[in-house]
Structure 1
Amino acid sequence: MLVILTALFVTALLCPLLFRVLKRNAFYVVAAVPAVGFIWLLTQLPVVLAADNSLANGAPNAPPSLKIEWISGLNIGLNFRMDSLSATILLLILGVGALVLFYCARYFKNDDPQIGGFAAKMVAFAGAMTGLVTADDVIIMFIFWEITSVLSYLLIGFNQALISARRSAMTALIVTTLGGLIMLAGILMIGSEAGSYQLSEILASADRLVSLGAYTDVAIALIIVGAISKSALVPFHFWLPGAMAAPTPVSAYLHAAAMVKAGVYLIARLAPGFSETNLWVPMTVGIGVLTMLIGGFRALKQHDLKLILAFGTVSQLGFIIAIFGFGTPEAAFAALAMTLAHGLFKATLFLSVGIIDHNTGTRDIRKLSGLRRAMPILSVTAGIAAASMAGVPLTFGFVAKEAIYESALHLEHGWGIVALIGLVLGAGLTMGYSLRFFFGAFGVKKHSVPYLTCKAPTLIFLAPLLLLSAMTLALGLYPQLVEPLMIHWSAAQGGPGKMHLLAFAGLNPALGLSAISISLGLAFYWIRRRTDTGAAPRRMIISAEDIYRMSLNGLDMVAIWITGRTQRGSLSFYLGVILGVVLVVPLGIALTVSTPWPDLWVIADHPAQLLIGALIIAGAVVSVIAPKRFMAVLMVSVTGYGMVAIFALQGHPTWR
Structure 2
Amino acid sequence: MHDGVNPTERLTWVPSLGMDLTFRLDTLSWLLTLVVGGVGALVLAYCARYFDDASKGLGRFAGSLTAFAGAMLGLVTTDNLLVLYVFWEATTVLSFLLIGHRTTSRTSRAAAMQALVVTTAGGLAMLVGIVIIGQAAGTYAISGVLAAPPTGLAIDVAVVLVLVGAISKSALVPFHFWLPGAMAAPTPVSAYLHAAAMVKAGIYLLARLAPAFAETTMWRPTVLVLGGATMIHGALRALRQTDLKLVLAYGTVSQLGFLTMLVGTGSRAAALAGVGLLLSHALFKSSLFLTVGTIDHATGTRDLRELSGVGKQAPVLMAGAVVAGMSMAGLPPMLGFFGKEAALGAFLLGPQDGQGPSARPPPRSRCSR
TM-score range, shorter chain: over 0.9
1:72 is matched with which residue?
15
2:93 is equivalent to residue 150 of structure 1: yes
C-alpha displacement at 1:82, in angstroms?
Answer: 0.9
Structure 1 residue matching 2:11: 3-state secondary structure: strand
Corresponding residue for 1:199?
142
1:259 aligns to what? 198
**Contact kept? 2:327, 2:335, Cα under 8 Å:** yes
The DSSP-based 3-state class of the residue aligned with 1:411 is helix
> Are residues 1:359 and 2:302 paired?
no
Q: 1:400 to 1:199 in 2, by over 3 A?
A: same
Contact 1:93–1:130 under 8 Å retained in 2: yes
Alignment correspondent of 1:50? 3
- Asked if residue 97 in structure 1 is aligned to residue 54 in structure 2, the reply is no
Q: Conserved in 2, the CA contact under 8 Å of 1:71 and 1:77?
A: yes
1:444-463 correspondence runs (5 A): none
Question: Could you say what secondary structure the match of 1:394 adopts?
Answer: coil
1:120 aligns with 2:70: no
Shift of 1:494: 12
Asked whether the equivalents of residues 126 and 164 of structure 2 are also in contact (C-alpha less than 8 Å), the reply is yes
2:345 is the alignment partner of 1:406: yes
2:81 to 124, 128, 138: 138
3-state SS of paired residue (2:189): helix
Number of the residue aligned with 1:295: 234
- Distance of 2:357 and 2:96 partners within structure 1: 36
Q: 1:483 maps to which residue?
A: none
Spell out structure 1 runs of 4+ moving beyond 3 A.
490-495
**CA distance in 2: counterparts of 1:178 and 1:82, whole angstroms:** 29
- Asked if residue 187 in structure 1 is aligned to residue 130 in structure 2, the reply is yes
Please tell me whether the aligned partners of residues 245 and 292 of structure 2 are also in contact (alpha carbons under 8 angstroms): yes
Amino acid across the alignment from 2:249 = A
SS of corresponding position for 2:165 = helix
- Aligned twin of 1:350: 289
Q: CA deviation at 1:340?
A: 0.3
1: distance between equivalents of 2:186 and 2:286?
13
**Amino acid of the residue matched to residue 50 of structure 1?**
D
* Number of the residue aligned with 2:366: none
CA deviation after TM superposition for structure 1 residue 394, in Å: 1.3
TM-aligned CA deviation for residue 110 of structure 1: 1.4
Residues 329, 494 of structure 1: 8 Å contact kept: no
1:318 positional shift: 0.5
Q: C-alpha separation between the residues in 2 aligned to 1:245 and 1:291?
A: 21
Structure 2 residue matching 1:165: 3-state secondary structure: helix
Matches of residues 441-520 of structure 1 in structure 2 within 5 Å?
A: none
Which of 79, 93, 110 is residue 53 of structure 2 equivalent to?
110
Cα-to-partner distance string for 1:64-90 (whole Å, 9 max, x where unaligned) = 111111222222211111100001111
Match of 1:248 in 2: 187
Q: Which of structures 1 and 2 has the bigger CA Rg?
A: 1
Which of these residues, 314, 323, 339, is aligned with residue 253 of structure 2?
314
2:213 is the alignment partner of 1:274:
yes
Question: 1:129, 1:95 → 2: CA distance?
Answer: 12
- The answer to whether residue 327 in structure 2 is matched with residue 388 in structure 1 is yes
- Corresponding residue of 1:374: 313
Residue in structure 1 matched with residue 365 of structure 2 by the alignment? none
Name the CA distance, whole Å, in 1 between partners of 2:42 and 2:211. Answer: 33
The aligned residue for residue 323 of structure 1 is 262
Q: How does 1:157-172 map to 2 (within 5 A)?
A: 157-172=100-115
Normalising by structure 1, what TM-score?
A: 0.54
Structure 2: any 5+ residue segments left out of the alignment? Answer: 360-369
> Cα deviations across residues 540-568 of structure 1 (Å, max 9, x unaligned)?
xxxxxxxxxxxxxxxxxxxxxxxxxxxxx
State the alpha-carbon separation in 2 of the partners of residues 227 and 492 from structure 1.
23
**1:39-76: CA deviation from partner (whole Å, max 9, x where unpaired):** xxxxxxxx2x432xxxxxxxxxx311111112222222
Quote the residue 1:234 is aligned against. Answer: 173
- Which whole-Å CA distance do the structure 1 matches of 2:32 and 2:289 have between them? 19
Q: Residues 598-644 of structure 1: CA distance to partner in whole angstroms, max 9, x if unpaired?
A: xxxxxxxxxxxxxxxxxxxxxxxxxxxxxxxxxxxxxxxxxxxxxxx
- Assess if the C-alpha contact under 8 Å between 1:125 and 1:151 holds in 2: yes
Q: Is the 8 A contact 2:8 2:24 kept in 1?
A: yes
CA–CA separation in structure 2 for the residues paired with 1:370 and 1:257? 29
Q: 1:491 to 1:254 in 2, by over 3 A?
A: farther
Q: CA RMSD in A?
A: 1.8
| In 2: Cα distance, 1:187 partner to 1:291 partner | 25
* Residue in 1 that maps onto 2:116: 173
State which of 141, 157, 169 in structure 2 corresponds to 1:218. Answer: 157
Q: Secondary structure at the match of 2:265?
A: coil
Identity score, percent: 53
Aligned match of 1:43: none
Give the SS at the match of 2:22: strand
Superposed CA offset, 1:387-445 (max 9, x none): 111111211111100000011101269xxxxxxxxxxxxxxxxxxxxxxxxxxxxxxxx
> 1:634 maps to which residue?
none
2:107 and 2:184 in contact (8 A); partners too: yes
Q: Is the 2:33–2:76 Cα contact (8 Å) retained in structure 1?
A: yes
